[in-house]
Structure formats: structure tokens, C-alpha cells
Structure 1
């Protein structure tokens, strides 16, 4: 009887978790559908903020959301090593949360550990292929590494999901200019 109760409790908890993840995915799908169709920057920016808001909330664990916020705050104040430990802890608890990988990738970028950052960005994109923030970060690393064609590819991927993505629209012509200068 005790095993049966534990099994029922497990089913209840897992169904809650999958339900929360599912509702978050449905919301993101809806927001990305709108983002693809919008034709003005103001509306696009509002949708972008909503998407970031969803990404920053863990689907079922408020404690992880709070840890992510704490790590982001540490990062903002330049405490990269401590922020890295916080994000490592979050990822041990939930390695399927794309935004935790994205935040750790950002810390690695700020620490100039570009290979580690790119590895984490790959994880982000495995989980959430539409993550325009990760794609933009990937492009910025490729620019630093002078791999300009790869940078353009990353930004073009972001523009497929977010056609009015300001960062992509501004960076691509700049990268093309760098490629021309390099070939002279």
C-alpha cells in the first residue's frame, strides 16, 4: 500500500510538472506566432519582453526562478565566479531549463571563455531552438572569433523566428562590412 501511495504521489507531481511545461510551451508558441506576423517594432518589442518573461520563469519551481534572478543580479554586478556557481547549481537541479543554460553562457561570454559559452548556447538551442537571445550571443562570439559567416548564419536563424529583431537587422550589415574589409 505504501508503494502505491508513493507511486500516486509521483504521478501527481510529474503530471503537474509536465502540465506546467506544456502550458509554458503553448504560451511561447502563441507568442512566437504573433512575433513572426507583427509588422511594427513597438509591438515586436512588447512580444519580445513577454517571451523573455516566460523564459525567465521556471515552469514548475519558483525557487529555481529566484536562483536564476539572483545569479543574473550577481552577473550584473560583475561577480562572475559566484554567478557561475549559482547557474551551475540551477543546472544540476534542472538541466532542461534553456534559460539557465543561456545565463551561464552569458557569464562565460563575460569571462571571455568563448568555447564554454558556445557549448552552453548549443544546449540552449537544443532545448529552445527559437532562442533569439542565445543566437544573438552566438553571433557576437563568432564576431569576436572573426568567424563572420557563422555570425551571419546565427542572426539569420534568429530573424526566422523574430523578423523585426533589431540586433539581427543592425549587426548583419556591420558583419558584411567586416567581411569586405577582411577581403581587401
Structure 2
């Protein structure tokens, strides 16, 4: 009986942490949609990234994600890929782990793998402007420019002042150059 009560307590704590993160994110995204000040938008973006990068109930996975991110920043992509895959083995529902792995795949020029992971991110968190921006950058690399614009436009629905909007004129220029 004590084990059952302990299980219920742990389950309700985990569920509460995940619910709390979602509530905070919803509030931040509501603010992000209405803000016109780029400095305030950047602060909101930073808060959103902070939540995405923190596992809702397993600090150990947060530490692994941070470690993998450091490896990626230092150019050790193969090791970072192993770390992110390990995190996903432990929690395949953590959106940011998929996003980080998509990023390392992008850096390794494994665009199909990256797009597959981005799809997983967007299925779980369609407002993930980082994944949408990464998706746009892949589409630019593989010269699917209209898809790139669509990815950025999708991000702008949730984050109207998103700095990746600056890519749209560049992509339109590429479209014109390739149609000549």
C-alpha cells in the first residue's frame, strides 16, 4: 500500500511539473504574440528557451542535454549525437532533446535526419520557433525555398517579431535568381 501511495505522489508531482511548464509556456507565448518591442520579445524568447531546455522532472536529463549542447558547440558532433540519442532513449517525449539532435544532424549535414527530428518536435510543440527556423535553413540548403518561407511564416504566427523574418527577402531573392 505504501508503494502505491508513493507511486501516486510521484506521478502527481511529475504530472504537475509538466502541466506547470505548459501553463508557463502558454502564458509566455500569449505575451510573445502581442509584444512589439524587440528587446521585450528577446527576453520572452530567452525565458521560453530556458523552459524548453529544462526537463520537467529529471534534472539528470537536463544535465545530459546541457553536456550534449556543449559538445555540439565545441564541434564534437558524433559524441553530442550519442548524448542526445541517449536522452531520447530515456524520454522520447522531451521536445527539446529532439530539437537538439535535429540541430546536431544539421551541423553534420544530415538534413533528412534533421528534418525527421524537427517533425517530431513540431508534432509535440508546433510553436517551436527554433525548430521552424532550423527547418527553414535546411530547406534553403536543399533549395526548397517555398517550403523555407512557409516554415518562417509558421514561426511568425506564434512569434511575430521573430528575427528569422529577415530571411524571407533573402529567400525571395534566391527564388528570383533561380527562375531566371
**Structure 1 counterpart of 2:24, from 24, 27, 30:** 27
List gaps (5 residues or longer) in structure 1.
none
The aligned residue for residue 6 of structure 2 is 9
Tell me the SS of whatever aligns to 1:106.
helix
Q: Which of residues 118, 122, 127 in structure 2 aligns to 1:130?
A: 127
Q: TM-score, normalised by structure 2?
A: 0.98
CA positional deviation for 1:14: 1.2
User: Which runs of no fewer than 5 residues in structure 2 stay unpaired?
Assistant: none
TM-score (norm 1): 0.96
Equivalent residue pairs, number: 180
Q: What is the distance in 1 between the residues matched to 2:3 and 2:118?
A: 37
Q: In the aligned structure 1, how far is the partner of 2:116 from the partner of 2:140?
A: 16
| Cα distance in 1 between the residues matched to 2:149 and 2:11 | 40
Superposition deviation, residue 5 in structure 1: 2.7
Is residue 162 of structure 1 aligned with residue 178 of structure 2?
no
- Equivalent in 170, 173, 177 of residue 174 of structure 1: 170
1:10 Cα deviation after fit: 1.9
List per-residue Cα deviations over 1:98-134 (Å, max 9, x = no partner): 0000000000000000000000000111111100000
Query: Where do residues 18-167 of structure 1 align in structure 2 (5 Å cutoff)?
Result: 18-167=15-164
For residues 131 and 8 of structure 1, the distance between their equivalents in structure 2, rounded to whole angstroms, comes to: 36
The one-character-per-residue Cα deviations of 1:62-95 (angstroms, maximum 9, x if unpaired) are 1111000000000000111100110011001111
Task: Give the Cα separation in 2 of the matches to 1:14 and 1:82.
Answer: 32
**Root-mean-square deviation (CA), in Å?**
0.7
